[in-house]
A and B are shown apart, each in its own frame.
Chain A
Amino acid sequence: EAQVTQNPRYLITVTGKKLTVTCSQNMNHEYMSWYRQDPGLGLRQIYYSMNVEVTDKGDVPEGYKVSRKEKRNFPLILESPSPNQTSLYFCASSFKSWNSPLHFGNGTRLTVT
């Protein structure tokens, strides 16, 4: 089944404790991206990747890191999480960067206390 898989679904952590949210797609998509969803703000892009070893900042990259060592994986790293990073996170992929539908993972609800 073609899908984008995110883990974990739920995560509660404390300020400053490094964490990684994994994202994997099995559709051989070139484009992958991370979004955070907050009430009233819609979906805001954190980082995106056009292909292996090619990443770039979205609109809200502060406090986040990503890597794209393999085509299928695009982990989101929070080196020192803070409470303002409490949010619902979605990973998504598409065949090409634009003009192609995004396929979303099931989301990761992160709480930082």
Chain B
Amino acid sequence: GENVEQHPSTLSVQEGDSAVIKCTYSDSASNYFPWYKQELGKRPQLIIDIRSNVGEKKDQRIAVTLNKTAKHFSLHITETQPEDSAVYFCAASGTGNQFYFGTGTSLTVIP
């Protein structure tokens, strides 16, 4: 099956700086790559996703890039704010009908 690795496991940044979280995947058949944000005590919620026919996608301060050749994708958050503090999960899915999640990155934005 698919194997998704996520780094770093913890990340601290100063407010206003950028944060980057990276994920790699093993199955070249994976073609959908969502990112989820989970605030403390709450459910994961989709913040952005990308499909394999696209290299980059942006939504305001959030962007995701995908490198299919290298089998990695990254989440970029610019101008970070304290409310960006949360755990972020990457995921990959493909023809196997399953979603495979990374182990999560705990992001802390220091005011």
Q: Is the CB of B34 within 8 A of A101?
A: yes
B43–A59 CB distance below 8 A: no
Q: How many A-B residue pairs have C-beta atoms within 8 angstroms? Tell me.
A: 61
Contact with B along A87-103 (1 / 0, CB 8 A): 00010000001111111
Given the contacts A101-B49, A102-B46, A42 and B34 also touching, CB distance less than 8 Å: no
Chain B: interface residue count, which band?
20 to 34
Specify which chain B residues have a CB less than 8 angstroms from the CB of A90 in the assembled complex: 43-44
Could you tell me which residues of chain B, from 70 to 111, have a CB within 8 Å of some CB in chain A?
89, 91, 93-95, 97-104
Nearest 10 pairs of A and B residues by beta carbon: A42-B103, A104-B43, A43-B101, A98-B93, A97-B97, A101-B46, A99-B32, A42-B101, A42-B104, A104-B44
- A42-B101, A98-B94, A99-B31 are known; give 12 further A-B pairs, CB within 8 A: A31-B97, A41-B103, A42-B6, A42-B102, A44-B101, A48-B98, A56-B97, A58-B98, A98-B31, A98-B99, A99-B32, A104-B44
Give the B-binding residues of A (Cβ under 8 A): 31, 33, 35, 40-45, 48, 50, 56, 58-59, 90, 97-107
